Chains A and B, each alone.
Chain A
Amino acid sequence: MLFKLGSLFMKPGAKMALLALAIVFPALASNEYQVYVMASAFVWAIAVYGLNIITGYCGQLNLAHGGFFAIGAYTLGLLTSDAGWSFWPAFVAALLVTAVLGFLVGVVSLRLKEHYFAIFTLCVGFIIYLLMDKWEELTHGPVGVRDIAAPYGFGVVDFTETTPFYYLVLAFLVFSIWFMGRLSRSLLGRTFIAIRNGDELAQSLGINLMRNKVLAFVLSTTYAGLAGALYAGMVRFIGPEEANIIHTFDMITYLLVGGIGTLTGPLLGTISIVWITQSLQFLEEYRMILFGPLLVVLVIFFPRGINGQFLTWMHHKAQTLSPAKKKKSSKVQTATSGEVKNNA
């Protein structure tokens, strides 16, 4: 079933079909709540794409990702409620703030290797949470931020309604994936993957580690900020809990289920898990009883998730289908596995 879904995604024009499906979804949905759930899944997917840049492609486990999501949400929230800005300027500010903070945190944290980086970012995430909880003069502490502005439309569209907001989020999601696709195929994306393969090897290939890691980190925090700002505009009321480490863990789960370091993985993982959790309401509170072991099983047996598994399978199928052409296979396979490559 999932393989079928995946193979649909591979065919030319399939992306268009999937996009069309997303566009007609509000008409197919049986109630507004479903549209709302889908919109929130899209928001999380954008954040997970960000995590995929630094953790999936670049190989650095960033445990402060949820913190940057919260910073995006708080920036938009505080600017529109306390400072009285209107939505779009605050939205742009949220992106800038997360990018700049991402740069500052990145410059310090990315000098650290592997475990140190993960532990450091875990602590950064917690500091973000503590500041939101304790710095009452700025953040209102545990009370949270109310009266957050909704995005105003241009002309006839009113984004305060669920369905128009859904399309707004969809547009950002499409842009996010489009950019990610372009990035992953480019020399820059390959540079990130080379860093994931190993610091020393990357350096011996003339890659400036710091510059590229910081760039990947800033991109990822900006994605998180974008998602956070959209989230704030959607729920209109946020609190310190948005920075709870549990959200970072959720996103890691989405990423691993879908396929870490792949292009469609984050979307696949986020949407499927969000809907599974939705349909099994009792899971909401205890979802981690399943997610926890799921993470363990995934990293042991399927470290590249649904999408990665599928891509490997596709590749091997393509190889066995053309045994006769084996001699000239280089050209043939590079052509047929074009998608594989793009996703890799």
Chain B
Amino acid sequence: MLKVEHLTKMFGGLAAVNDVSVDFEAGKINAIIGPNGAGKSTFFNLISGLHQPTSGRILLDGTDVTNMPSDKVARLGVGRTFQTTNLFEQASVLDNLIVGHRLRTKSGLWDVLINSKRLQREEKAARDKAMEALDFVGLTHVAGQFIADITQEERKRVAFALALATDPKIVLLDEPAAGVNPEETQGFAELMRKMVDNGLTVCLIEHKMDMIMSLADKIMVLDHGEKIAEGTPEEVRNNPVVIEAYLGGDEDAAA
């Protein structure tokens, strides 16, 4: 599904990601863990094309996407969420989601001017897609509410829905369960399972170990930009290098 070969990203003289190779299988939940500053978010930024790698290759279903701009990568089926998502606060949830399907539409300025059939068709498709994504994350009941009026957990779900509306094959989730309570965390775990059950590939960065250990099919551990371990939760849990990195590193991250 997603194959990364010897990926390196230098900022100034420092390697934020250093020679990382990994293979994420389709239809699985893949987790990336590691102490703060291990290069996890940079890794996501490289895959989604926001940053260009210094060296290495990224293959998506066999297509080389290494130096592709992020909008093209998104069109090839890589959806993602961010740690914080800025949305239009004074607009409804549904309105914020409609643009998610924009990348599958073609209407331009001229269509707007003459209100073409194509524009009408595409706008309906985008709205339907937004409703579908909203339904998937279980938020149809707040479709008409302003973003400013919904809860933190609902916001996170909206961010999920936005990524889903792009019709992705793989979704990159950056700390999906940060800042929500244990009960809600469970909800997000279920949501990710549901995504995989629906044929998506999930790739997430997370600090909540309980969740990762019970959820992930495969875990990659990054430390100082390097891959120090990879395997099933069981393998990773018992890996001495990982234990060392966590105990010696940022305690906060191991919590």
Contacts and interface: CB of A to CB of B under 8 A. Distances in A.
A207 B71 contact: yes
Contacts of A193: 88, 91, 99
Interface in A306-320: 308, 311-312, 315, 319
B175 interface: no
B115 interface: yes
B112 A204 contact: no
Given A203-B70, A204-B70, A206-B71, A330 B141 contact: yes
Contacts of B48: 204
A199 to B, nearest CB: 9
Nearest to A185: B123
A178 to B, nearest CB: 10
Contacts of B140: 330
Given A187-B119, A330-B143, A205 B100 contact: yes
A208 B75 CA distance: 10
A212 B94 CA distance: 22
A203 B44 CA distance: 13
B202 to A, nearest CB: 16
A206 B49 CA distance: 11
Contacts of A319: 144-145, 149
Contacts of A344: 88, 90-92, 95
Contact of B99 (A194, A219, A327): A194
A319 B145 CA distance: 8
Interface in A287-317: 304, 308, 311-312, 315
B90 A201 contact: no
Nearest to B94: A334
A191 interface: yes
Contacts of A196: 88
Interface string A329-344: 1111110010011001
B108 A205 contact: no
Contacts of B136: none
B112 A186 contact: yes
Nearest to B91: A344
B246 interface: no
B123 A187 contact: yes
A164 interface: no
Contact of B166 (A183, A205, A329): A205
B51 to A, nearest CB: 10
A188 B122 CA distance: 11
Contact of B115 (A182, A201, A308, A333): A182
A190 B144 contact: no
Interface stretch (B32-40, B77-85, B214-222): B77-85
B113 A209 contact: no
Given A205-B99, A206-B103, A311-B90, A329 B82 contact: no
Interface string A105-123: 0000000000000000000
Interface string B149-178: 100000000000011001000000000000
A204 B105 contact: no
Given A193-B88, A194-B102, A344-B88, A204 B79 contact: yes
Given A190-B102, A334-B143, A197 B74 contact: no
Given A187-B126, A194-B102, 10 more contacts: A186-B119, A193-B88, A193-B91, A201-B82, A205-B100, A205-B166, A207-B102, A315-B146, A332-B144, A344-B92
Interface of A: 179, 182-183, 186-191, 193-194, 196-198, 200-201, 203-209, 215, 219, 304, 308, 311-312, 315, 319, 326-327, 329-334, 337, 340-341, 344
10 contacts: A191-B99, A194-B99, A200-B70, A200-B82, A201-B85, A203-B69, A334-B143, A340-B91, A341-B92, A344-B92
Interface of B: 48-50, 69-72, 74-75, 79-80, 82, 85-88, 90-92, 94-95, 98-100, 102-103, 105, 107-109, 111-113, 115, 119, 122-123, 126, 140-146, 149, 162-163, 166
